[in-house]
Chain A
Amino acid sequence: MVSLVAGVRRRLPASTLGRNLLLVLAALVVVVLLLELTDPFRNSQLATMSYYAIAAAGLTVLTGLNGQISLGHGALMAVGAYAMGLLLNTGVVPFPLAMLAAAAVTAVVGVVVGAAAARLHGPYLAGATLALAIGVPGLAIHFDGVFGGEQGLQISSPRPPDWFADVIYFLFANEAGSAKYFAYIGWLTLLAVLLLLSNLVASRYGRVWRAIRDDEVAAELAGVPLGRLRVLAFVVSAACAGLAGAVLGIVVRLAAPSGFTIVLSLSLLTAVVVGGLGSLGGALLGSALLVFLPPAVTGLGMQAGLTGVQAAQLAPLAYGVVLVTVMLLAPGGAMGIARALWHARPRRRFAQQPANTHRMDEEPSTTDATEPGGRT
């Protein structure tokens, strides 16, 4: 019995990789269908969603898994977008290489920021990263010769190559505009990121990150090099933000300070929280919300008789209210609710387990004492 369990455990990482690969293949089919069945406008919305999702997936590793909050991911996306722009504008760097380079540059920045952040907690970290989000855009203005100042750096995005249009037309009889091309770039990048991250999450690193989040002292006593792992989480997360910035650069064709305000950082946090802290699926869901909620809410507001100017405020209002409500009523986010429903349905036995678990820690021995079955 014991050996069987151990055997399964030993095979687990391999099967995780396999399962994830399968999932990604399935996802690929879904993405292609999604992009081919929707109109160019939905394509462009999906392109936008892809860069939010890449950044949110990275943030969920940092915040959900390792418990470090960051309000500065918008600034990291800016690093990626500017790097992307500078590289593409040279006219010689092919865009996939530029994307990797942008991610690498941002990862290096992540090492610096992460080293400082690893020593901070909760509100301090939040405040420091907030200052980062507000301070960094100033650099683009100060060095306007390189970064184009306030009006931004125009980016020569790649044009859809002929073979792409041919393939799309051959397979689906659809015309392939740049919106579609960008959406493909974004979603392929996103899938790659999700594959890598989900393997990372299931790996030893993922477990150690969770351990640090849940009980730092215990993790440290167990010999975990806290600082180094924290920085690592930050670097992974920063690389994702950089990649997201690179995709944003391609899609928006501009990197400007006004594109990377604190609002962007807060939006990413909203996506991560609403989707479900710590869940990659949640990050995806949350990003969808960021893209599809504002037009919907604004539309509702207009129907309800608000002026266009007032209705536009409903989107930030909804963000704020949703953030608070989710934290108060369903801290697990959408994925948390889904998981609870899933578990509640088939097996009634566990359904009444109360959520109030932290109290049990206070007298843990009680649990042992009432379960004498442990010895038999």
Chain B
Amino acid sequence: MVAPTAVPRGAATTMSEPLIEGIAGRNRRTMQQFLNVALNGLSQGAIYAAFALALVLIWRSTRIINFAQGSMGMFTTYIALALIESGRSYWVGFAVALLAGLLLGALVERLVIRRVEGGPELNAVIVTLGLFVALQALAAILFGATYRSFPAPFGLHGFDVGGVNIALTPFNLFAIGAVVVVMLALVALFRFTDVGLRMRASAFNQEVSRLLGVPVGRMLTLGWALAAMVGSLSGLLIAGGSLVFPAYMDAVIVYGFVAAVLGGLDSPVGAVVGGLVMGMTLSVVSGYLGSELVALAALAILVTVLLVRPRGLFSRTAVRQV
């Protein structure tokens, strides 16, 4: 028999731990666990927030929920991956993916969505679902259905502050920062610029907007293009330092949607807060109740919000039919 050289690292110090540290040690670890789970939820939440922002943007510009958003973001992330794997820098891939998102959003609006806008709500929902399925299959054919790793531009180690682990990596901080910046930019766009105002007007009332000389068609295209760009960003942030495969955005579609509804589909700030709340709640559910209940928890949150406060936490719109 081969000699067991394998005394686990750290085993020597931790073996007697129960005796020395006793209850205090266990309490400290319990606190640390909660901190870890919560902070992990924060970084997951940033991702849901990014996705929710994209949904909010399209909702504000066309009153459509884009169920294809996840597939679109996935697709542009694969474009970035192809560039990075061919030797370009992460940031080239990042920029190209965002631009590709912009273009893809505009194309999808022009070629597909334009024809169902203003029609029955159902038709738009079905069309975006169709796009969702088709794009995912197309990506699998073009890029393959295997796991690929997607690099991150920043580190993936958590911080250690005086013996307390802070379960956030530099890349997580980048993701959270990027989401906050995008949110502020969107708030500014909608609140302070004429373009933003026209986009909102076009969404609420196309006819009146046209009578006021607003180029409604262009506003809708712009709305979709911007939203798809934010969607691409969310795809990149989810992928960063993790695995991608054609269906990697599937869960995010649901969690991002719930986050957007939680915050109020009209509100960028709501989307971000909703995303963070979702991230932390789901992380806690996963860590303390079980990973199989995460989707169910999302359902419970959604139903509660829709029934108790259908306008969401942050929507300004007075009346909303849900």
Contact = CB atoms under 8 A, between A and B. Distances in A.
Nearest to B139: A313
A116 B307 contact: yes
Contact of B133 (A137, A306, A316): A316
A63 interface: yes
A319 B129 CA distance: 10
A227 interface: no
Interface stretch (A30-38, A121-129, A166-174, A246-254): A121-129
B127 interface: yes
Interface string A297-328: 00000000010011001111101111110011
Interface stretch (A44-52, A138-146, A175-183, A234-242): A138-146
Interface residues of A, number: 48
Interface string A88-111: 000000000000000000000000
Given A309-B145, A310-B141, A323-B129, A122 B122 contact: yes
A269 B126 contact: yes
Interface in A265-284: 266, 269-270, 273, 277
Contacts of B17: none
Contact of B134 (A69, A137, A139, A324): A324
A320 B134 contact: yes
A126 B125 contact: yes
A262 interface: yes
Contact of A321 (B130, B290, B299): B130
Contact of A69 (B116, B122, B127, B297): B122
A262 B65 CA distance: 17
Interface string B126-158: 110111111111101100010000000000000
Contacts of A315: 137
Interface string B250-273: 110110011001000000000000
Contacts of B137: 313-317, 319-320
Nearest to B307: A116
Contacts, number: 150
Contacts of B253: 130
Contacts of A130: 67, 253-254, 257
B265 to A, nearest CB: 8
Interface in A314-359: 314-317, 319-324, 327-328, 331
Contact of B303 (A69, A116, A134): A116
Interface string A40-64: 0000000000000000000000010
Nearest to A263: B133
Given A123-B121, A131-B257, A320-B130, 8 more contacts: A120-B322, A122-B125, A131-B258, A132-B299, A135-B295, A136-B296, A316-B137, A319-B134
23 contacts: A69-B126, A116-B307, A120-B306, A123-B59, A126-B67, A127-B65, A127-B261, A128-B303, A131-B298, A131-B299, A134-B299, A138-B294, A139-B296, A269-B129, A310-B141, A313-B137, A313-B140, A313-B141, A319-B130, A320-B133, A324-B131, A327-B126, A328-B115
